[in-house]
Amino acid sequence: MARAVSTRRKAGYTIAAWIIGLAIFFPILWTIVTSFKTEAEAISSPPSFMFFQWTTENYSTVMERSNYFRHFWNSVVISLGSTVLGLIIAIPAAWSMAFVPAKHTKNVLMWMLSTKMLPPVGVLIPIYLIFRDVGLLDTKTGLVIVLTLINLPIIVWMLYTYFKEIPGEILEASRMDGASLRDEIIYVLTPMAVPGIASTLLLNVILAWNEAFWTLNLTAAKAAPLTAFIASYSSPEGLFYAKLSAASTMAIAPILILGWFSQKQLVRGLTFGAVK
């Protein structure tokens, strides 16, 4: 029997959720607002939130100074490429861990997760030297490989969690009907885990889109994504806050729009298998 929740408690939870949501979103909102200020108003004290002279000059300056669409296309290729490649590798790996009994499955999962605890700067020099020697430095291919390896533990962990919620009897029935291992994964397992796979894809696109450390250190000009586009507005002469905010807004706008339209699918995938 479900526990009754009083109206007052519901209202309290709702207010708390709005306060937390606004606190999380406020830095993004402040960045968007600052992008419409002049440089003088951006650094004024006390700062003004709404009552100032709104201008789109910063966006015009950013578009004239930088090739936004080239950086945007690089971000699209790198984030989608690394996510798709990660899914191709992770789906069979998560299947084997979820449905093939093994004594050390949990140890393997913990070992994979432990690689995320290593500071990226600890392996920057060897990876940089390898990429320089094999010709992958400042290429989209190199960044796709690096971001795939970085996010692969998260992809495997998420898919493993979703796959464990699928009854193994269904896969056994497909084998009895003559399905090969390939058919079992592609035509039986994958369609049943679409919500989980979709949420994994969306989350890792966001992670790859926002990755700054590797994109700034392994690119110079040709493969530079939007993170490098933002960093270009931090110069030795000082920070141009209004223009930096405009560049940041242009960089996060596509991923904000993607998250807004896919929020239902993302929530559905993240809660996949939570209620039986």
Which residue reads 């239902």 in tokens?
264
- Specify the pLDDT at position 272: 56
Assess if residue 241 is contained within a domain: no
Local confidence band at 268 (pLDDT 50, 70, 90 cut-offs): low
Local confidence band at 1 (pLDDT 50, 70, 90 cut-offs): very low
Assess if residue 120 is contained within a domain: yes
> Tens of pLDDT along 100-134?
777 778 888 888 888 888 888 888 999 999 999 99
Question: Is pLDDT larger for residue 269 or for residue 43?
Answer: 43
Give the separation between CA 148 and CA 9, rounded to whole angstroms.
44
Assess if residue 91 is contained within a domain: yes
Instruction: Decide if 93 contacts 154 (C-beta within 8 A).
Output: no
> Tens of pLDDT along 53-91?
888 888 998 888 888 999 999 999 999 999 999 999 998
Assess if residue 169 is contained within a domain: yes
- Specify the pLDDT at position 276: 46
Q: How many CA atoms lie within 13 A of 232 on its CB side?
A: 20
- Specify the pLDDT at position 83: 93
> Tens of pLDDT along 208-244?
999 989 998 998 888 889 988 888 877 655 678 888 8
> Tens of pLDDT along 131-185?
999 999 999 999 999 999 999 998 998 888 888 888 877 877 888 878 787 888 7
Give the separation between CA 163 and CA 100, rounded to whole angstroms.
12
Helix (H, G, I), strand (E, B) or coil at 223: coil
Assess if residue 8 is contained within a domain: no
Assess if residue 75 is contained within a domain: yes
Assess if residue 19 is contained within a domain: no
Global pTM?
Answer: 0.82
Domain limits at 199?
A: 66-232
Assess if residue 49 is contained within a domain: no
**Number of folded domains in the chain?**
1
Residue 119 maps to which CATH number? 1.10.3720.10
